[in-house]
Structure 1
Amino acid sequence: MAVDLLIRNATLPDGRRGQDIASTAGRIIGVEPGIAAEAGRVIDARGRLLAPPFVDAHFHMDATLSLGRPRLNRSGTLLEGIALWGELKPIQTVEEIVERALRYCDLAVSQGILAIRSHVDVCDDALKGVEALVDVRTRVAPYLDLQLVGFPQDGLFRSPTAEANLLRALDMGVDVVGGIPHFERTMAEGARSVVRLCEIAAERGLRMDLHCDETDDPMSRHVETLAAEVQRRGLGGRVAASHLTSMHSMDNYYVSKLIPLMAEAGLAAIANPLINILIQGRHDTYPKRRGQTRVRELCDAGLPVAFGADCVMDPWYSLGAADMLEVAAMGLHVGQLSSPADMAWCFDAVTAIPAEIMGLEGYGIRPGAQADMVLLQARDPVEAIRMKAVRLAVIRRGQVIAETPERVTRLALPGRPERLDPADYAPVETGEG
């Protein structure tokens, strides 16, 4: 048998070791030990972790890498970020949005991200962001899946032309219906926007992803309206509620009603640890609220819950490196997800779970799946998070599209090893659970 790519002696996220993975014509055709095949390229994984690619289910690519234009967010707050974005939109061009987005996609690929769901603001009547990112989506399609959400960032009803612009954006090829009900002028207007957005998604047969209750106000409860409307219209399985930070401030009795309602409706949830914990709780002195939604409770109720990066070097967030392992690590820490099972789940929250939420076809390491993979300098998912593991090889449709040398330190210490591989400093396995 002849194949295009053969990866030998890999460890998979489910714990299987010594696995060979063969692919041809962009698809995986075999996953088992000791595959006998001639290959155009052979990679010896040396027992390291081979995972499906990272997936970022919540991002803002129309703003990324715009840090400092036209000025910096000096306070670091959400409100100044919104004001700054309002200053940037009129002066940026389609060409610069395209260039920034392409540069970010380069960075994302180098970090093993091969699928991104990006919200794109539709409150600019010129729809420059939509025009730019539809173009970018075509350009990057050979190496990255880009899913676009039409996002009326100033409010579907608060912005006079937002609804018409959203419909225009969907006609231009935007994939997903977005919204921000808590940013409307009143709770009633927010609830009405949820109903209208669900109506649009149902009419067009599209997925939905709403910025929902991204606030410290425990009375911001638009996700309740969303869950009820999704259930009423039969939209379950294709609707995500992003952020949900108000849930960290809600009383437990109300949440005991809310989460089962969300599960019954078939909602998914997307938390954004880096941004949520930095932006939220700004009115608190001490104690300060953590800002992340109730990840564990949502997971325990059976909802698909993913972690997103949200922002990288833009009006709202001056940091970021397209590193979904950093996102997973932050979500792990702030959510106190420290059991072995929880830590492994955090890896799923930036790989398999967001792939499910986005409806990616052929995702995973199994025969018949797309040959999209990332080889990490780690021996298991928890070690990958702990070490922010180097992406040794990023593979798209069976072709290596990015490579990074392994991280090894040369030491000059009397009586100590000359070579230090971070993975060698994990505890010795005892076989105990």
Structure 2
Amino acid sequence: MLITNARLRHRGDALHDVETTDGRIAAVTPAAGTAAPGRDDVLDADGALLIPPFVDAHVHLDYANTVGQPRHNASGTLFEAIDIWADHKAEGYVTREAVLENATAAVRAEVGNGVGFLRTHVDVTDPDLTALDAVLELKDRVRDWCELQVIAFPQNGILAYPGGADLMAEAMRRGADVVGGIPHFERSRESGVASLHHVFDLAERHDALIDVHCDEIDDDQSRYLEVMAELAVERGWQGRVTASHAVAMAYYSPGYMAKLLPKLVQAEMRFAVNPTENLQLQGWGQAAPMARGVAPIKELLEAGLNVALGQDSIADPWYPIGEGDLLRVLESGLHVGHLLSEPMLQRCLDLITVNGARNLGLDLRDYGVHVGAEADLVLLDARDDKDALWHHADVLASVRRGRLVFRRPRREFTEAMEGFLPERPAARLAA
């Protein structure tokens, strides 16, 4: 496949041609500016921005498209959502067929929004592991469109749920890729710490990455993050541990943050932040002044820590909307994180591309737009990072291992608009 006349990130307005062979990028050269006669595998980018696919660093595919089953979340809170999900399971909604149908629709939506890699948590606090088996089946079904990484996630606790530890072990035996946890949902501080030891033990047995729902609660005394960092160093798991949500950090005092951040850096902790979801779930019942309930993205980045963003939910008890549109998630994260500075805008796509790839443990030699990388690519109707965010750029095409997954035409104005509105205001083009 040959992609012609593409802009690349951080290379200005220069256009490039990208040749793929056997599923990898074989050449990146200045645009020839001429047609390729006799070839039927040419995609003319026409100045659009060519990037690696978006990475959704945190989503729950087994929960997708279940909103209202068996009821809606009247309070809007995290803990009502967990109760609704327990009833959802008890009332028999979780079947292989339902999970496959709902999760497939969610993956299709994500891919249509430029996502090529998804890390999905799957609830394994179910004696039959029905959802896990369905999502593992889906992982194989969609591998020609995108790549799924599956986390064994104990929604109702490893120790709090009867047999939870055994179910986690069985989930890893069945093929889950990553070990999850939820220490703040265990019945005591001590049980939460014990659950994290179990997480690391299981990860060691399977040589697996770790991604834990950590401190997702409006409580400045929820401090499992420091335990995770300590265990990562003790077990030699630096750079292999992700803390998802970590919203309690929004409530930590400056003094405690000053103590905590160096520990996180030493542990090479990674973070998956879900701004749209936690803006909805957090802060209920709080008195003014109200915290934003989102992990401090700016402070984490300034400390040199890896932060990626995720959709989290697609129409489920936790979040009633969502469609895997990571540009929308990115916009929310930048606003809530006070990150609309010019330097950040010029590299903002990192939060939904390369940073997510790091969380997933992808080999960065294989991810990107460079010779030797796997030919997984997305074409955005934009000039650069800032333009993509500013105009909520359409995804014009997606390529997986050198094969076109989909393409869509640019939006065009009709003659009714002719003479009234340029396609892009000149001030924006110059920004």
TM-score by length of 2: 0.94
Paired with 1:85 and 1:54, the residues of 2 have a C-alpha distance of: 28
Q: Deviations over 1:316-354 (max 9, x none)?
A: 101112101001000011101011221234311101110
Q: Where does residue 388 of structure 1 map in the other structure?
A: 392
Q: Deviations over 1:99-122 (max 9, x none)?
A: 111111111111111110000011
Paired with 1:397 and 1:61, the residues of 2 have a C-alpha distance of: 23
Q: Does 1:75 align with 2:80?
A: no
Q: Where does residue 26 of structure 2 map in the other structure?
A: 29
Q: Does 1:429 align with 2:430?
A: yes
Q: Where does residue 373 of structure 2 map in the other structure?
A: 369
Paired with 1:411 and 1:425, the residues of 2 have a C-alpha distance of: 20
Paired with 2:316 and 2:83, the residues of 1 have a C-alpha distance of: 12
Deviation at 1:384, TM superposition (A): 0.8
1:411 touches 1:419 (CA, 8 Å); kept in 2? no
Unaligned runs of 5+ in 2: none
Amino acid at match of 2:209: R
Q: Where does residue 190 of structure 1 map in the other structure?
A: 192
Q: Where does residue 47 of structure 1 map in the other structure?
A: 47
1:102-141 maps to which residues of 2 (within 5 A)?
A: 102-141=104-143
Q: Where does residue 8 of structure 1 map in the other structure?
A: 4
Unaligned runs of 5+ in 1: none
2:158 touches 2:164 (CA, 8 Å); kept in 1? yes
* Shift in CA distance, 188/114, structure 1 to aligned 2, threshold 3 Å: same
Q: Where does residue 238 of structure 1 map in the other structure?
A: 240
Paired with 1:426 and 1:106, the residues of 2 have a C-alpha distance of: 36
1:3-402 maps to which residues of 2 (within 5 A)?
A: 5-16=1-12, 17-34=14-31, 39-90=39-90, 91-92=92-93, 93-361=95-363, 362-402=366-406
1:8 touches 1:20 (CA, 8 Å); kept in 2? yes
* Shift in CA distance, 288/425, structure 1 to aligned 2, threshold 3 Å: farther
Structure 1 SS opposite 2:430: coil
Paired with 2:409 and 2:208, the residues of 1 have a C-alpha distance of: 41
Deviation at 1:74, TM superposition (A): 2.3
Amino acid at match of 2:185: F
Structure 1 SS opposite 2:167: helix
Amino acid at match of 2:21: T
Query: Bigger shift: 403-412 or 72-81?
Result: 403-412
Q: How well do the aligned residues superpose, as a CA RMSD in angstroms?
A: 1.6
2:106 touches 2:323 (CA, 8 Å); kept in 1? no
Paired with 1:12 and 1:77, the residues of 2 have a C-alpha distance of: 42
Deviation at 1:208, TM superposition (A): 0.2
1:410 touches 1:419 (CA, 8 Å); kept in 2? no
Q: Deviations over 1:223-281 (max 9, x none)?
A: 10000011000001111001010000000111011111011011101110111111111
Structure 2 SS opposite 1:223: helix
Amino acid at match of 1:227: A
Paired with 1:101 and 1:110, the residues of 2 have a C-alpha distance of: 14
Deviation at 1:426, TM superposition (A): 4.8
* Shift in CA distance, 244/425, structure 1 to aligned 2, threshold 3 Å: farther
Paired with 2:245 and 2:284, the residues of 1 have a C-alpha distance of: 16
Paired with 1:333 and 1:34, the residues of 2 have a C-alpha distance of: 36
Deviation at 1:43, TM superposition (A): 2.0
2:183 touches 2:215 (CA, 8 Å); kept in 1? yes
Paired with 1:307 and 1:256, the residues of 2 have a C-alpha distance of: 23
Number of corresponding residues: 423
Deviation at 1:192, TM superposition (A): 1.3
Paired with 1:168 and 1:426, the residues of 2 have a C-alpha distance of: 58
Structure 2 SS opposite 1:288: coil
Structure 1 SS opposite 2:218: coil
Structure 2 SS opposite 1:179: coil
Paired with 2:71 and 2:185, the residues of 1 have a C-alpha distance of: 24
* Shift in CA distance, 277/175, structure 1 to aligned 2, threshold 3 Å: same
Paired with 2:175 and 2:232, the residues of 1 have a C-alpha distance of: 23
1:56 touches 1:354 (CA, 8 Å); kept in 2? yes
Paired with 1:13 and 1:289, the residues of 2 have a C-alpha distance of: 35
Structure 2 SS opposite 1:71: coil
Q: Deviations over 1:359-403 (max 9, x none)?
A: 224111111111111111111111111221111111111121112
1:409 touches 1:419 (CA, 8 Å); kept in 2? no
Deviation at 1:419, TM superposition (A): 6.1
Paired with 1:183 and 1:198, the residues of 2 have a C-alpha distance of: 17
Paired with 2:188 and 2:104, the residues of 1 have a C-alpha distance of: 38
Deviation at 1:410, TM superposition (A): 3.1
